[in-house]
A and B are shown apart, each in its own frame.
Chain A
Amino acid sequence: MTDTPLFQYTLRLADTALVLGHRLSEWVGHSPVIEEDLAFGNMGLDLIGQARSLYSHAGEIEGKGRDEDALAYLRDAPDYRNILLVEQPNGNFAATMVRQFLYAAFAHPYFEALAHSKDKTLAAIAAKAVKEMAYHLRHSAEWTIRLGDGTDESHRRAQDALDELWPYTAEMFETDQVERALIEAGVAVDPSAVRATWDKTLDHVLSEATLVRPRDGYMQSGGRIGRHSEHLGHILSELQFVQRAYPGASW
Chain B
Amino acid sequence: MYTQALNTQDQAPSAASDPLADARFQARVDAEERIEPNDAMPEAYRRTLTRQIAQHAHSEIVGMLPEGNWITRAPSLKRKAALLAKVQDEGGHGAYLYAAAETLGTSREQMEEQLLSGAAKYSSIFNYPTLTWADIGIIGWLVDGAAIMNQIPLCRCSYGPYARAMVRVCKEESFHQRQGYEIMIALARGTPAQKQMAQEALDRWWWPVLMMFGPPDKDSQHTESAMRWKIKRFTNDELRQKFVDATVPQGHFLGLTFPDPALTFDAATQHWNYGEIDWAEFKRVVAGDGPCNRQRMKQMRAKHADNAWVREAATAFARKRRQRAEAMPIAAE
Contact = CB atoms under 8 A, between A and B. Distances in A.
Q: Give the size range of A's interface with the partner.
A: 35 or more
A33 interface: yes
Interface string B286-309: 000000000000010001001101
A34 interface: yes
Contacts of A30: 68, 299, 303
Interface stretch (A46-54, A129-137, A196-204): A46-54
A45 B77 contact: no
A246 interface: yes
Nearest to B57: A34
Contact of B84 (A45, A157, A246): A45
A28 to B, nearest CB: 5
A93 B307 contact: yes
Contacts, number: 135
A38 B311 contact: no
Given A30-B299, A151-B309, A241 B80 contact: no
B91 A28 contact: yes
A250 interface: yes
- Contact residues on B (Cβ < 8 Å of other chain), bracket: 35 or more
30 contacts: A25-B84, A28-B87, A29-B67, A29-B87, A29-B91, A31-B307, A32-B303, A33-B310, A34-B95, A44-B84, A45-B84, A52-B81, A55-B77, A73-B76, A93-B310, A94-B310, A145-B317, A146-B313, A150-B313, A150-B316, A154-B312, A154-B313, A157-B309, A239-B72, A242-B73, A242-B75, A246-B75, A249-B193, A250-B190, A251-B186
A229 interface: no
Interface string A36-67: 01100110110011011001000000000000
B310 A154 contact: yes
A92 B302 CA distance: 13
B71 A25 contact: yes
A31 B64 CA distance: 11
A5 to B, nearest CB: 24
Interface in B32-76: 61, 64-65, 67-68, 71-76
B65 A249 contact: no
Tell me the dominant secondary structure on chain B's binding face: helix
Interface of A is mostly: helix
A129 to B, nearest CB: 15
Interface in B72-120: 72-81, 84-85, 87-88, 91-92, 94-95, 98
Contacts of B312: 150-151, 153-154
A238 interface: yes
A26 interface: yes
A251 B88 contact: no
A145 B94 CA distance: 28
B159 interface: no
A29 B91 CA distance: 8
A37 B186 contact: no
Interface in A219-251: 238-239, 241-243, 246, 248-251
Given A150-B313, A246-B194, A69 B76 contact: yes
A184 interface: no
Nearest to B88: A41
Top 9 A-B pairs, shortest CB-CB distance = A150-B313, A41-B88, A154-B313, A32-B307, A29-B68, A29-B64, A242-B75, A32-B310, A251-B75
Interface string A104-133: 000000000000000000000000000000
Contacts of B316: 150-151, 154
A37 B74 CA distance: 18
Contacts of B88: 28, 37-38, 41-42, 45
A251 B303 contact: no
Contacts of A145: 317
Contact of B65 (A22, A29, A147): A29
A249 to B, nearest CB: 5
B242 interface: no
Contacts of B2: none
Contacts of A151: 309, 312-313, 316
Contact of A48 (B80, B187, B190): B80
A99 B91 CA distance: 24
A52 B82 CA distance: 13
